[in-house]
A and B are shown apart, each in its own frame.
Chain A
Amino acid sequence: AAAMSVNADLRRERAAATFQPQLLTHILDGGPERTRRRKEIEALVLNDPDFQHEDLNFLSRSQRYEQAIRKSSLMVMKLREYGIADPEEIYWFKSFVHRGRPEPLDLHLGMFLPTLLTQATPEQQDRFFMPAWNLEIIGTYAQTEMGHGTVHSINALSKNGFVYRGVPCLGRTVSYFLMQVALSVAGITVGDIGPKFGFDEMDNGYLKMDNFRIPRENMLMKYAQVEPDGTYVKPVSDKLTYGTMVFIRSLIVGDSARSLSRACTIAIRYSAVRHQSELKPGEQEPQILDYQTQQYKLFPLLATAYAFHFVGAYIKDTYHRISGDISKGDLSELPELHALTAGLKAFTSWTANAGIEECRMACGGHGYSRCSGIPDIYVTFTPSCTYEGENTVMMLQTARFLMKSYTQVTSGQQVTGMVSYLNDLSRQRIQPQHVAARTVTMRINDPTSLVEAYKSRAARLVESAAKNLQAELNHRKSKEDAWNRTSVDLVRASEAHCHYVIVKLFTDKLAEVSDAAVRAVLTDLCLLYALFGISRNAGDFLQAGILTGAQITQVNQHVKELLAVIRPNAVALVDSFDFHDVHLGSVLGRYDGNVYENMFEWAKKSPLNKTQVHESFHKHLKPMQAKL
């Protein structure tokens, strides 16, 4: 199978592209040097016989866990051997080793180490950080309880070593305790929580403690402290303890982009290879990518994947910029960052979650087979709608910030940052019932004009939620009741705000692209993203009087025209994501497009095919036929 040449359809698609995919890859990676380094690390892993393994689809859960532990342990050795220490490079390495799947040390690397860095006193860091960094202890992060989840998190537990424990404590703050877990230790009951939708590689655990004692020094005390006499010392700012959380949420936005990109790569390549039915009688069966309905399913998702990539990069940059300020004691930008990452985490993970499923569905029956790789992407990704803050709760956090900003504006203060559009509300008061008078002249081919439309929609929904909230309060409802009775409106307002931010960031990105051909194709995607969003949420734009029915008809029409414009570049646009076949893990999405031959090769390895005649014939079928 390895020697087969590239499928003729895909060759044609690639030859017809109007831009150089590798230039776009550089933009996604953050420069040609980053691309080069990423591929270097990729090659280190892929050429290493230690990291080869059987197709995970054919292994049991216990086997998958064992494989993952084996590779994680090796990975740590090799990271040290190669001297890879940059967090992003570690992330790449890890992702290639585990092919985008979760791994048992995720919680150690992703939660335990960063939390030690941010929450431990210098003395605690001396004592715990280096041993943890050297994997002399394996950490996890045990916050979620059976009865309590929100605010975070998925809960992993290694079977031995140290555990990191946060319990609700002393009112409103969460404190952090370090404790060791071993099966033999009295007072500790620990185990695996059983099979899940995905995350087979991860031993998510349960932990029961019965008067388990740890020394006072094991409470992480950089911020909150307990003195020897039991005096509790409050942290300077509650918000500080949420640093790790904000960071992890920003990673989820990037993960939304990557997971959706992988699904799009598979679905679009397969749609270029698959021929079915007829567009015109007597002609050859067309590629299914030529059907308008197929383009309508896939291209908006492709545009979304690009949009989320740029949003993820933006948040990462902002986080790094702001965390510098925080360590200098400047907390002024933290509230907006917190509000923004909460909403964008929810918005992008919901959208990507649904998008991955649409991609799978667009691959028809074969998408349902695990050989397509999309089921695995989905089950791995979908918990991100829940962990690190359940999405609805996240949206409501953003809403709280929006309501606060709105109140500031109405009381005559100016607000800054992404919510500054609310300042305009005080100038041009929006009336409770909207008439078409406010309709803007929207230039359908100009992304900046579309950003304005999204801005108006966000402003109108924020205002409407604020007014409904006020109306409930006027009905003498308690603050909490009023909030609950407005929460559906509040979520809509947050969504509109996030949607505006994403369209704006995508549009801003276009100006940074120097290559004209790449800019042209990204502009098409940006327009498609923005117009498709308007088409899908037409009611908001109509109800607020931002657009007329006739304009919406125009938008719908232009969306369909853009599908045809993007069609010749579709395969090149997913090639630009530059996923190696091994990383993609999909027979349908192979770079060479030789799908059917390899589906057959893959199926032969199915556990049910191990013997010529399945044992159930002798056990059940034969006796039945004998009796009848």
Chain B
Amino acid sequence: SVNPDLASERQTPSFCVERLTALLDGGAEQTRIRRAVVEAIESDPVFSRENQYFQTQNERYEAAVRKAVHLQKRMHEMGWAENGPEYVYIYRALSGDVAFLLHRVFMRSISVLGSDEQVAKWIPLATQHQLIGSYAQTELGHGTYLQGLETTAVFDTATQEFILNTPKISAMKWWPGDMGRSATHTVVFAQLYIHGKCYGIHPFIVQIRSLQDHSLCPGITAGDIGPKMNFEHTDNGYLLLKNVRIPRENMLSKFCEVQPDGTYVRQGSQQINYFTMTAVRISLISDEVLMPLMKACTIAIRYSAVRRQSKLKPGEQEAKILDYQTQQEKLLPQLAAAYAFHFVNDYLQELFNRGYREIQRKNFDMLPELHALSSGFKAVITQHCTAGVEICLRACGGHGYSLLSGLPSLYTKILASCIYEGENTILLLQTARFLIKCFMAASAGQPVPPSVTYLAAVKHRKCPAKNKLDFLSPDIYTEAYQHVAVRLTSSTAAKLQDLIQSGVNKHDAWNQCTVQLVQAAKAHCHYIAVKNFAETVEKLETKAGIQKIMKHLCDLFALHGIFSNTGAFLHDGYTSAAQMDMVTASYLDLLAVIRKDAVPLVDAFDFTDKSLNSALGSYDGHVYQRLYEWAQKSPTNQMSPAYERYLKPLLHNTLSKL
């Protein structure tokens, strides 16, 4: 039976929960397929995550390998094809807790960077798992700055081989997943040298372990890089190469080739590489970033409806903590953000698909805009959602700190997303570079991509809102966001020009403006997110209360952004002090409105208890019983040797005196 405190929350939702779930999935049919996949995976004991919180790094790694191997079998049995409609839900159902994820990156890099012959040779082997691949790009000393990588590959014309070396300690490959213990092969990125001349970074396929007994190949030193905040199931590895020789054919040569006599030939356009990065950044948003935030919201909001603490009124029962305004102010904006970014993700996917079609027609015009948006949003969404998960964690008080709440592992996992696939600050600066360029072009009357045409448009100089209800109008708040984005971009562009005109070197000038540039890029993304949410709401079905509740969340997302960054909106007087009080009033009113639907809104995410793996967040709300039951399974409750060895001698002599 369901805890009555949670049951009462579900009695009168203002909207149809099932309809909203279907909207999030992209249709009822998708919901059906997803549920079937989740059911198949969760009913299989091999995929259980039940004891995960009690496992050591070694046990986590072994379980992940076991699951990966078992998954191959199950996919075959279920008739789930790679790239079939079920495929996207498998990873989600496993909560990412599976090995050989880099194997797919290995395959993709061969498909994208390899010649037809190379694809024909390696892809079938990889598909059949005759080898296990990894992807070795990052080094101890270099991550973001690829040109700075120090691994070398010297072409030896005499033997028609490349000789790979790690010339110094900082050149060691460091971090690649699946490489510490599992992989037999990896794609190594190294500086190519022919006849003493450096040709820059190129990819090479290198075998690192024996296919017979898994021992390390000659010249290879490899291992696991040690414990991390999370990803204990992944053997992130190091790799040291000493005079490792590979045949000439192992350099991936779709775009660059070294001919037998050492002639270096470049062919085709490398712009497709940027497109790959864009694809990866967009693809991680859904599974790696939105899912953890949605799960964290589900756990924290359900728990807040069950947890009672202190009294709101004397003589009454203790209140649900969800009824405290301060608790609503922590959690509901995170819920709104989860929905907002879900729709941003849809927008980016659509833009990406359009870009992909254009690229197939050899039209690369959309690439700069796509690159700028995917970089900026990767940074903004990962940062926002990471902070959101942490807020959910802390909003659960002491119990949130227990691993059994599920929240610490959601947090330590999502926060890695701020670093991988491009460090966030650097990504925001790439978006800013695009913005400044477009702003200059737009000011000079030149055409710019659609997402930035607003930079040139003339707008109100003052916010026209007259009362607090005006701030529930998407036109009013969207325009406020637009104004801030334009102001930050134009003032930074002006500052940059001033510095350059006063004789500062343009690179120094850029560095001196980077703090402002980052703010401009964030404001741009925030504006697009608000605008996109408002436009999405406009198009939603009015039936079943869906549009109405989404409109509330859109308003909350927008007003929370203003409320928590008032300075940006007040700065040039666009919004007055009196208007800011209206924003605050409207914002706080909304919290009470959305509060009523808070539990149905997280129910709509449709996570099973197994996928939440949380003693606090289960659908039935029996929090305390579950915490107690799970705690008793803790290995620390086996009698500890510490008492016999240390405490007993300390206590024993005098205990009897009492």
**Are A and B subunits of one complex?**
yes
Closest CB-CB distance, A14 to chain B, in whole Å?
22
Contact residue among B229, B566, B643 (Cβ-Cβ distance under 8 Å from A159): B643
* CB of A426 closer than 8 Å to a CB of B: no
Contact residue among A136, A193, A539, A621 (Cβ-Cβ distance under 8 Å from B580): A539
| Total interface residues in chain A, CB < 8 Å | 130
With both beta carbons as reference points, the residue of chain A lying nearest to B323 in the complex is identified as: A484
Task: Determine whether the beta carbon of B181 is less than 8 Å from that of A608.
Answer: yes
* CB of B284 closer than 8 Å to a CB of A: no
* CB of A304 closer than 8 Å to a CB of B: no
Contact residue among A69, A137, A382, A481 (Cβ-Cβ distance under 8 Å from B646): A69
User: Please, how many angstroms separate the alpha-carbon atoms of A622 and B213 in the complex?
Assistant: 8
Task: Determine whether the beta carbon of A291 is less than 8 Å from that of B514.
Answer: yes
* Chain B residues touching A, majority SS: helix
Query: Which residues on A sit within 8 Å (CB–CB) of B235?
Result: 608, 614
Docked complex: B14-60 residues within 8 A CB-CB of A: 53-54, 56-58
Q: A131-B658, A137-B658 are in contact. Are A478 and B326 (CB under 8 A)?
A: no
1/0 per residue, CB under 8 A from B, across A121-140: the answer is: 00000010001001111100
User: Please, how many angstroms separate the alpha-carbon atoms of A549 and B575 in the complex?
Assistant: 12
With both beta carbons as reference points, the residue of chain B lying nearest to A283 in the complex is identified as: B507
User: Please, how many angstroms separate the alpha-carbon atoms of A539 and B584 in the complex?
Assistant: 12
* CB of A603 closer than 8 Å to a CB of B: yes
With both beta carbons as reference points, the residue of chain B lying nearest to A76 in the complex is identified as: B650
Task: Determine whether the beta carbon of A624 is less than 8 Å from that of B419.
Answer: no
Task: Determine whether the beta carbon of B632 is less than 8 Å from that of A191.
Answer: yes
With both beta carbons as reference points, the residue of chain A lying nearest to B402 in the complex is identified as: A196
Docked complex: B57-97 residues within 8 A CB-CB of A: 57-58, 61-62, 65-66, 69, 72
Docked complex: B367-403 residues within 8 A CB-CB of A: 390, 394, 397-403
User: Please, how many angstroms separate the alpha-carbon atoms of A41 and B377 in the complex?
Assistant: 51
Task: Determine whether the beta carbon of B57 is less than 8 Å from that of A607.
Answer: yes
Task: Determine whether the beta carbon of B514 is less than 8 Å from that of A158.
Answer: no
Q: A293-B518, A365-B420, A549-B573 are in contact. Are A279 and B567 (CB under 8 A)?
A: no
User: Please, how many angstroms separate the alpha-carbon atoms of A570 and B258 in the complex?
Assistant: 47
With both beta carbons as reference points, the residue of chain B lying nearest to A297 in the complex is identified as: B425
Closest CB-CB distance, A476 to chain B, in whole Å?
14
Docked complex: A285-325 residues within 8 A CB-CB of B: 285, 290-293, 296-297
Query: Which residues on A sit within 8 Å (CB–CB) of B624?
Result: 146-147
Task: Determine whether the beta carbon of B65 is less than 8 Å from that of A616.
Answer: yes
* CB of A352 closer than 8 Å to a CB of B: no
Closest CB-CB distance, A442 to chain B, in whole Å?
16
User: Please, how many angstroms separate the alpha-carbon atoms of A305 and B231 in the complex?
Assistant: 31
* CB of A449 closer than 8 Å to a CB of B: no
With both beta carbons as reference points, the residue of chain B lying nearest to A490 in the complex is identified as: B326
Docked complex: B213-234 residues within 8 A CB-CB of A: 213-216, 223-229
* CB of A150 closer than 8 Å to a CB of B: yes
Contact residue among B58, B429, B565, B655 (Cβ-Cβ distance under 8 Å from A539): B565
* CB of A615 closer than 8 Å to a CB of B: yes
Q: Could you list 17 A-B pairs, sorted by A, with CB under 8 Å?
A: A66-B646, A69-B645, A136-B658, A144-B398, A160-B648, A196-B408, A276-B145, A279-B508, A290-B511, A386-B398, A433-B581, A487-B325, A489-B584, A599-B225, A606-B223, A606-B224, A623-B69
A residues sitting closer than 8 Å to B (CB atoms) are 57-58, 60-62, 65-66, 69-70, 72-73, 76, 127, 131, 134-138, 144, 146-150, 154-155, 158-161, 191-198, 203, 206, 274-281, 285, 290-293, 296-297, 357, 361, 364-365, 367-371, 375, 379, 382-383, 385-387, 390-392, 396, 433-434, 478, 480-481, 484-489, 491, 535-545, 549, 552-553, 556, 560, 596-597, 599-600, 602-609, 612-617, 619-625, 628
B residues sitting closer than 8 Å to A (CB atoms) are 53-54, 56-58, 61-62, 65-66, 69, 72, 128-130, 132, 138, 140-145, 148, 169-170, 172, 174-175, 180-182, 211, 213-216, 223-229, 235, 238, 307-314, 323-327, 329-330, 390, 394, 397-404, 408, 412, 415-416, 418-420, 423, 425-426, 429, 505, 507-508, 511-516, 518, 565-573, 577-578, 580-581, 584, 588, 624, 627-628, 630-637, 640-643, 645-651, 653-655, 657-658
6 tightest A-B CB contacts, nearest first: A539-B566, A538-B567, A608-B224, A194-B634, A539-B567, A606-B226
